[in-house]
Amino acid sequence: MKYGRKRVLLVYPKFPPSFWGLQKAVRMSGRRAALIPLGLVTVAAMLPEDLFEVRLIDMNVRELRDSDIAWADIVMVTAMQVHKDSFNEIIIRSKRQRKIVVVGGPYPTIYPEEVVLTGADYLVLGEAEVTLRFFLEDLAAGRAPRIYSEASVRSRVSIALTREFKPHITITPIPLWRLLEMRRYASMAVQYSRGCPNICEFCAIYGLFGHIPRVKTPEQMIAEIESLWRAGWRGPVFFVDDNFIGNRGEVRRFLPILIAWQKEHGYPFSFYTEAGIDLANEDMRDILDMMVQAGFDEVFVGIESIDPEVLESLKKRRNRGDQGEKIAIIQKAGLKVTAGFIWGNDMEKLANIMALFHFIQEHGIVECMPGLLNAFRGTPLYLRLQQEGRLRGESGGNNTHAFSFNFVPRLDEQALIEAYIDLLEKLFSPRNYFERCRTLRNRLGKASLPRENRISLRNLMTVVKVFCYYLILHPSWEFVRFMSETTITAPSGFAEAVANAVKFVHYESITTSSIREYRAAHPK
């Protein structure tokens, strides 16, 4: 392939409707998507500007038109497994116009034997900091093989790697924010670290990114946040790290600098991230306090189960101890706790389902994500079930509000599914949901940080829409009671109350529709 300046179209596939996609809530808020395609705007920054003209289409924000594909010389697509159908459609449409198609991301990396059958010309797998450069060089020279992996280019790599042969992300460039239609997103995203020191049986993260948490330098991270601020963003920013506190020493170096930047700029951002529940441990309290001072207001934790035997079976050993007490510590410090739960492990007991419901209610976990256990390729769980002859096939990538296992459970499968449905119906009833909102409101720490408070027309329209929905289209006494209480007793929490009510529009809808579809396909 001869160079000149080539046109590259980066395409992010469409998410199917899902619990965590928040599609209805996002639309009610006047946005189109919850999060940006951070990987693609980072890859865009790795493409030399003198050689490539780049555009980006996020199909969650707007439609991919044939004219978009016609513009391009090369179409680059990333995907997770949940994107599979949209991903395949993009490739078909691009090849129909005889475009060079390059794919990467988690789905092609984990399932290359499937992806080679899609018609994509090149698979650039693993972390782009390692593989993308060599692909571009070989493509220009006309000698590019079809598949690039971290292993296949290892002998050519000149950059420093960890002992797990992973790149240090100090070489990762600042994403090209200018490619995004920012106003269409509910939140921006940045990445501080990759990798997780934990070895949970069901998790594929350390298989993809290693056990050693690699971090950006504080100066590098501040430059990235500053660039996002200069691009005009104000509001929520998701640190997409799978375990923000994985490297405790480095996060202790970074947070004071982030606090200083936020103070200097008037706290334009609120942050949220994922971390282990050991954030509440005594030796982590300084990190917890600094996170709140830096403007973090929410953390997702993988609780998975409240049964010690189940946790041991899942190799979730860091969750030992009183998890309820740890949640309370995090909440009282000032962080909302959202949480994931797994149902259907071999050590499960059907009686656990009611205990789990009461646990979630008692501790005000408003946004809870219970899902059926699925075995993902690349995990110890997948390998064990495969060796035991219990694996049925591949997971579809979405286990929340989906009613199937991709393996043969030890317990009665139908009983597990019925218990799970009962849990969802209880958790996402208006009464129980808004009761959790009350509990969280009462528990959260009183510390209040200054924010850039701008009352926009979009925010006012969201308030109007949610009140119309609950008062006229879908009348709810529980909503009226909750909002009245908030307005009278905790007016400073009004905006948060509206946000929770907007999210509930989606949660209740996806719960009702998912169960209805399952019942139609599986009548009792």
Please report the pLDDT score of residue 5 as a whole number. 87
**Comparison of pLDDT for 211 and 433, the residue scoring more:** 433
Average pLDDT over residues 77-100: 97
Please report the pLDDT score of residue 204 as a whole number. 87
* Nearest one of 416, 443, 491, 217 to 332, comparing CA atoms: 443
- Please answer whether residues 486 and 497 qualify as being in contact, where contact means their C-beta atoms are separated by less than 8 angstroms: yes
Q: Pairing between strand 214-215 and 193-194?
A: antiparallel
Please report the pLDDT score of residue 458 as a whole number. 77
Q: Which two tokens stand for residue 344?
A: 């259907």
Question: In this prediction, what percent of the chain has a pLDDT beyond 70?
Answer: 97
pLDDT digits (tens, 9 = 90+) for 151-172: 999 999 999 999 999 999 999 9
What φ, ψ does residue 239 adopt, rounded to 5°?
-80, 110
Please report the pLDDT score of residue 69 as a whole number. 98
Check whether 409 has a pLDDT greater than 50.
yes
Angstrom CA distances, 497 to 335, 361, 436, 464, 482, stand at 15, 17, 11, 14, 8
Check whether 183 has a pLDDT greater than 90.
yes
Cβ neighbours of residue 312 closer than 8 Å, sequence gap 6 or more: 347
pLDDT digits (tens, 9 = 90+) for 233-288: 999 999 999 999 999 999 999 999 999 999 999 999 999 999 999 999 999 999 99
Q: What angle do CA 521, 22, 446 make, to 5 degrees?
A: 130
Check whether 455 has a pLDDT greater than 80.
no
Check whether 445 has a pLDDT greater than 80.
no
Q: What share of the chain is helix, strand, coil (3-state, %, to 5)?
A: 50, 15, 35
Check whether 2 has a pLDDT greater than 70.
no
- Rounded to whole angstroms, the Cα distance separating 479 from 437 reads 11
Check whether 453 has a pLDDT greater than 50.
no
Please report the pLDDT score of residue 199 as a whole number. 87
Q: How confident is the model at residue 514 (pLDDT cuts 50, 70, 90)?
A: very high
- Please answer whether residues 312 and 342 qualify as being in contact, where contact means their C-beta atoms are separated by less than 8 angstroms: no
Question: In this prediction, what percent of the chain has a pLDDT beyond 90?
Answer: 90
| Helix or strand holding residue 399 (H, E) | none
Q: How confident is the model at residue 449 (pLDDT cuts 50, 70, 90)?
A: low
Q: What angle do CA 233, 244, 289 make, to 5 degrees?
A: 85
Average pLDDT over residues 367-371: 96
Please report the pLDDT score of residue 367 as a whole number. 96
Please report the pLDDT score of residue 25 as a whole number. 94
- Rounded to whole angstroms, the Cα distance separating 250 from 337 reads 23
The backbone region for 371, taken as left when phi is positive above 0, alpha when psi lies in -120 to 50, beta otherwise, is: beta
Check whether 450 has a pLDDT greater than 70.
no
Q: What is the CA radius of gyration of the chain?
A: 23
Q: How confident is the model at residue 451 (pLDDT cuts 50, 70, 90)?
A: low
